[in-house]
Chains A and B, each alone.
Chain A
Amino acid sequence: GAVVSQHPSWVICKSGTSVKIECRSLDFQATTMFWYRQFPKQSLMLMATSNEGSKATYEQGVEKDKFLINHASLTLSTLTVTSAHPEDSSFYICSAERGVTNTEAFFGQGTRLTVV
């Protein structure tokens, strides 16, 4: 089956620092990846769509300068939370499409970010 690996699984950082989260498709090429955020006891909210070789498309209300997304290759997308604040503490999870028409995406295991 298709595997998406997300790294790190958890991270604690100080306010004001930046954190990079990686999303890799291990056994397939992903032309499109998606980034979601989930606050405790809430649902997942789509943050942005990441396309290989082009700029990410952000959902309304998501600051593109704060959440930098880079999809440099067909197997890797990164999300960098810049100048992190405690309110950015959340569970971040990515998904990747295989590029086969009308099939499911595959989710990474998520990254729990705690900003102190």
Chain B
Amino acid sequence: SQQGEEDPQALSIQEGENATMNCSYKTSINNLQWYRQNSGRGLVHLILIRSNEREKHSGRLRVTLDTSKKSSSLLITASRAADTASYFCATGPFSGGYNKLIFGAGTRLAVHP
């Protein structure tokens, strides 16, 4: 069953603006990962944050994790039209398989030039 809920479901912004996507989950996790998917294509791994970490950065990406609230956020700074895609969070379980991922519903991001 799907674990994560993401909001917003869709986000439309202008180039240069920041985009923030949120993800909530229900059970204990070992890790949380964010992926990007261009329409009809495969997944691109963006960042992995472990349950004992609170924040990670990678280029224009910033991910936070609050295990007490069972939530995570993905911030894309200075967005570009090429960032237009669907973004998914996925949680790896506390036990039973580090990469046995449960995906959130996803956020469809549209960045307009």
Contact = CB atoms under 8 A, between A and B. Distances in A.
A110 B42 contact: yes
A63 B82 CA distance: 38
B51 to A, nearest CB: 11
18 contacts: A34-B99, A36-B101, A42-B105, A43-B88, A43-B104, A44-B88, A46-B100, A46-B101, A49-B100, A95-B101, A97-B98, A102-B50, A102-B98, A103-B98, A104-B45, A105-B101, A107-B42, A109-B41
Contacts of B50: 102
B42 A104 contact: no
Interface of B: 1-2, 30-31, 33, 35, 40-43, 45, 48, 50, 88, 90, 97-106
Nearest to A110: B42
A44 B63 CA distance: 21
Given A95-B101, A105-B101, 19 more contacts: A42-B105, A43-B103, A44-B103, A46-B101, A46-B102, A49-B97, A95-B99, A102-B50, A103-B98, A104-B33, A104-B45, A104-B48, A104-B99, A106-B45, A107-B43, A107-B45, A108-B42, A110-B41, A110-B43
A42 B33 CA distance: 18
Nearest to A1: B45
A29 to B, nearest CB: 15
A26 interface: no
Contacts, number: 61
Tell which of A43, A60, A91 has the most Cβ of chain B within 10 Å.
A43
Tell which of B1, B42, B50 has the most Cβ of chain A within 10 Å.
B42
Interface string A82-116: 00000000010101010001111111111010000
A32 interface: yes
Interface string A1-17: 00000100000000000
Interface string A41-73: 011111001000000000010000000000000
A35 to B, nearest CB: 11
